[in-house]
Amino acid sequence: MTELSATELCLIESTPAPEPASAPAPAHEPDLTHARPAVRKCGAAYRRAFNAYMETSDGDDFDKKKAAGVGGLAYREAMPLLSSFEGIRDFIACTAHGILMGAIPQEQSGRVLYAAQVALATLQREPKPRKTA
């Protein structure tokens, strides 16, 4: 074990302790600490749009619904492209999380997942590059 310098000890002591994980996130700010990076990106886009809308509003229930709609649009716009296997996998993860949190409306969910299914099927049928002799 290495000894820490006085500067390193000061940094450790001055670093604030993390907030307890027991406090649940508000409904419009889900806890994404253990999510895939793409899901965190979509969630962050949702939070930014939601909070930006709420800063300019009265904060009543109508404004919260409107802010959730704006946040949902930002969430969907931040979703990964369907251009690679990893992108499709992350798109599906974002879609599932978005459906559960209400960022993707029920009436759109089937079409969004179908788009991922078609992209995955297309990717699997892509011709393999030929090896040169």
Domain for residue 71, yes or no? yes
DSSP character for 33?
A: T
Residue 30: per-residue pLDDT: 54
Which domain does 105 fall in, by range? 35-124
Residue 83: per-residue pLDDT: 93
Domain for residue 16, yes or no? no
Domain for residue 81, yes or no? yes
Low pLDDT (below 70) residues in the chain: 1-34, 126, 133
Domain for residue 30, yes or no? no
Domain for residue 52, yes or no? yes
Domain for residue 4, yes or no? no
Q: Nearest to residue 46, comparing CAs of 62, 24, 30, 57? A: 30
Residue 121: per-residue pLDDT: 93
Residue 24: per-residue pLDDT: 39
Count of the separate structural domains present in the chain = 1
Residue 33: per-residue pLDDT: 62
